Amino acid sequence: MKKPLLVLVLLSYLFNASAQEDAWVYFKDKPNVAASIANPISILTQKAIDRKNSHNVLIDERDVPVNENYISQLKGATGITVMAKSKWFNAVHVRGSETDINSLSATFSFIDRIDFANKSLNTIKLVKRKSKSKLESAFTIFTYGNAANQIEMFNGHELHLANYTGTGMTVAVLDAGFPNVNTMTSFQRLRDAGNILDDYDFVNRDADVYTSTASNHGTLVLSTMAGYVENQYVGTAPDASYYLFITEDASSENPVEESYWVEAAERADSLGVDVINTSLGYTTYDNVNYSHTTANMDGNTTFITKGANIAFEKGMLLVNSAGNSGGGSWGIVGAPADAAGVLSIGAVKADGTYAAFSSRGNSTQPTQKPDVVAQGQASYVITESDVIGTSNGTSFSSPILAGGVVCLWQALPDKTNAEIMQLVRESASKYSTPDNFLGYGIPDLQAALNTTLSDVDNYDEDEDLKLFPNPTNGVIRFNQSELSVTIFNILGKQVLETTTGTNNQIDVSSLSKGVYVARIQSENKTKTIKFITY
């Protein structure tokens, strides 16, 4: 009777040894880093360089591509499939058996570490590493039809009247399929203007995002920003330019989708994209060993959230759906909506009241989540059949508001991504009394614009003094040295007074999370800047 048991044990061992696992393989170095940074046009487009320069975003080692020779060697390894790559993390996402993946470290000296998606397989404790951070006169009048309420809710139509319709701004939509966008009459205006700049399917590794029937989600999402039907429907940023990227595999739930997303965000950054809209979120997976927990939604744990925070540091403005788990056991926002560097959008009904499905924030997140809300219940969209209809979800409140944010940034091009995000929050209906259902509430983008344009604060005369990153979780850096910095809490009480010295930074890790005001003084100039700690 023992022999069958032994056979079963051996079969179980063989099965487990050959089962396919997902993992991230991190490399130790990159080629030609100094030369690439010194000649950034070799690794970035001119538009990306211009955006970074205008917003004081450093070009650093993370902008340098991954060593393709390393990737080629991994592709030749036994049992290994390379699924995605990330220059920001200097890593690739691989798939193979646990044994084959673990053997990579012994085979290739350029590997720094391996991190399995199944966390129980990570027998070596990982050391948490800190990232290296080195107006127009013409008027446009639209008839919005059914889409009127969802843009008027945050006064986005007022920006359109002032001719801020997204012109000159670039948006990347990271989503599932975009069927028929290339033929629908609802996107004819967008195509005729040449405003679909490019597309790519990171899941299937091809340049066709239009024929997949697995999901129409991307088409619906894009319609809320860029759709146009004369006198019947107008998206919230109809004159912006768009990149369409598929990063979601609609046929399954696997953490490789987080890697696809990071890879797409990196490409968006290199192309000079201003705003990314993502109506996706990641919590649990088909393989329960890969699933995240609600405790992981802490703004800095999941791969995609860490990637989103780097994208924020790179100067892009990320808008993300909060999630549709409000009525379920999960309840809270998913990744990457939990990131401090992401503007997370919850959902309300047409009358501005909370939509019960909208995912909530909680104390796990380092900053208030959701950040703000927009109409996500009975949102008007255009289907792949060129028919105007309604749909529910933060998948739609996110792009609806993202388009408005695009127009606001067009009106205020000298503002950084963090400054635009904070203007949106400060304009919202519950800014002084936020909660975990509506966040800071419904924004008023026209008020945000008016307040900024009418600001006569003498401190704003000097646009050369800047601090970053914002939000921060420990250190603030400045673009000048030898500065005197006094920090006040939101009640006006002084909580810190110090100088930057020659290293251009100060440590604020002792401050509780919240909103603060920094008064920065150089030899002959002074400026005040709000910042957030988490």
- pLDDT tens-place string over residues 312-330: 999 999 999 999 999 999 9
Shared domain check, 314 and 210: yes
Identify which of 368, 291, 297 has the alpha carbon closest to the alpha carbon of residue 333: 297
Indicate which residue of 217, 239, 321, 325 is catalytic.
217
Residue 303 lies in a domain: yes
Residues 377-408 have pLDDT tens digits of 999 999 999 999 999 999 999 999 999 999 99
Helix (H) / strand (E) element for 345: namely: strand 342-348
- What is the model's pLDDT at position 464? 63
Categorize the per-residue pLDDT at 478 as very low, low, confident or very high, splitting at 50, 70 and 90: confident
CATH code at position 447? 3.40.50.200
Q: How confident is the model at residue 515 (pLDDT cuts 50, 70, 90)?
A: confident
Whether residue 79 lies inside any domain: the answer is yes
Averaged over 472-480, what is the pLDDT?
A: 83
CATH number for the domain that contains residue 483: 2.60.40.10
- Residue 158 forms part of a structural domain: no
If pLDDT is split at 50, 70 and 90, which confidence band does 136 have? very low
Give the pLDDT band (50/70/90) at residue 534.
confident
Model pLDDT, residue 532: 79
Surface-to-core class of residue 138, CB atoms within 10 Å of its CB (0-12 exposed, 13-18 middle, 19+ buried): exposed
One domain for residues 487 and 448 = no
Q: Is the pLDDT of residue 4 over 70?
A: no
pLDDT of residue 458: 33
pLDDT in tens, 429-457: 999 999 999 999 999 999 999 888 765 33
Same domain, 50 and 104: yes
Cβ(188)–Cβ(198) under 8 Å? no
Judge whether residue 526 has pLDDT over 80: no
More confident residue, 490 or 8: 490
For a pLDDT cut of 90, what percent of the chain falls above it?
A: 74
Please, what is the average pLDDT of the chain? Answer: 89
Residue 1 lies in a domain: no
For residue 13, what pLDDT is reported?
Answer: 47
Confidence of residue 520 (pLDDT cuts 50, 70, 90): confident
**pLDDT of 130 over the 70 cut:** no
Residues 407 and 351 in one domain: yes
**Which value, in Å, is the radius of gyration of the alpha carbons in the chain?**
24
CB atoms within 10 A of CB 152: 13
185, part of any domain: yes
Q: Beta-strand (E) ranges in 386-461?
A: 388-391
Q: What pLDDT score was predicted for residue 328?
A: 95
- pLDDT at res. 501: 73
DSSP string, 463-524: -S--EESSSBSSEEEESSSS-EEEEEETTS-EEEEEE-TTTTEEE-TTSPSEEEEEEEE-SS
Mean pLDDT throughout 491-516? Answer: 83
pLDDT digits (tens, 9 = 90+) for 208-220: 999 977 899 999 9
* Residues 146 and 388: beta-carbon distance below 8 Å: yes
pLDDT greater than 60 at residue 487: yes
Task: Assign 492 a pLDDT band (cuts: 50, 70, 90).
Answer: low
pTM over 0.85: no
- Out of 395, 397, 398, 427, which one is annotated catalytic? 395
The verdict on 50 and 110 lying in the same domain is yes
CATH number for the domain harbouring residue 113:
3.30.70.250
Q: What is the pLDDT of residue 490?
A: 62
Clarify whether residues 429 and 479 are in a common domain.
no
Q: How far is CA 396 from CA 136, 146, 221, 224, 279, in A?
A: 29, 15, 6, 7, 7
Query: Mean pLDDT, to the nearest integer, of 448-471?
Result: 64
Residue 424: inside a domain, yes or no? yes
Residue 112 annotated among the catalytic residues of the structure: no
Owning domain of residue 410: 166-453
- 292 annotated active-site: no
Mark whether 175 is an active-site residue.
yes
Which pLDDT belongs to residue 523? 78
Q: How far apart are CA 310 and CA 131, in angstroms?
A: 8
Q: Are residues 343 and 487 in the same domain?
A: no
Q: Are residues 41 and 172 in the same domain?
A: no
Q: For residue 399, what pLDDT is reported?
A: 98
Instruction: Say yes or no: 445 and 473 in one domain.
Output: no
Catalytic residue chosen out of the listed positions 22, 63, 100, 175: 175
Quick check: is 133 in a domain? no
Note the pLDDT of residue 132: 34
Q: Do 428 and 483 share a structural domain?
A: no
pLDDT for residue 14 is more than 60: no
Please tell me the number of Cα atoms within 13 Å of 383 on its side-chain side.
7
Residues 256 and 359 placed together within one structural domain of the fold: yes
In a domain, 127, yes or no: no
Question: At 130, which amino acid appears?
Answer: K
Domain end, chosen from 89, 105, 121, is at 121
> Is residue 225 scored above 80 in pLDDT?
yes
Picking from 414, 432, 453, the residue at the C-terminal end of a domain is 453
Same domain, 507 and 412: no
Which of 123-127, 338-342, 513-517 holds the top average pLDDT? 338-342
pLDDT tops 50 at residue 529: yes
Of the three residues 121, 138, 158, the one that is the final residue of a domain is 121
What's the number of domains the chain is made of? 3
pLDDT for res 18: 65
Among the listed residues 243, 230, 248, the one whose alpha carbon sits nearest the alpha carbon of residue 388? 230
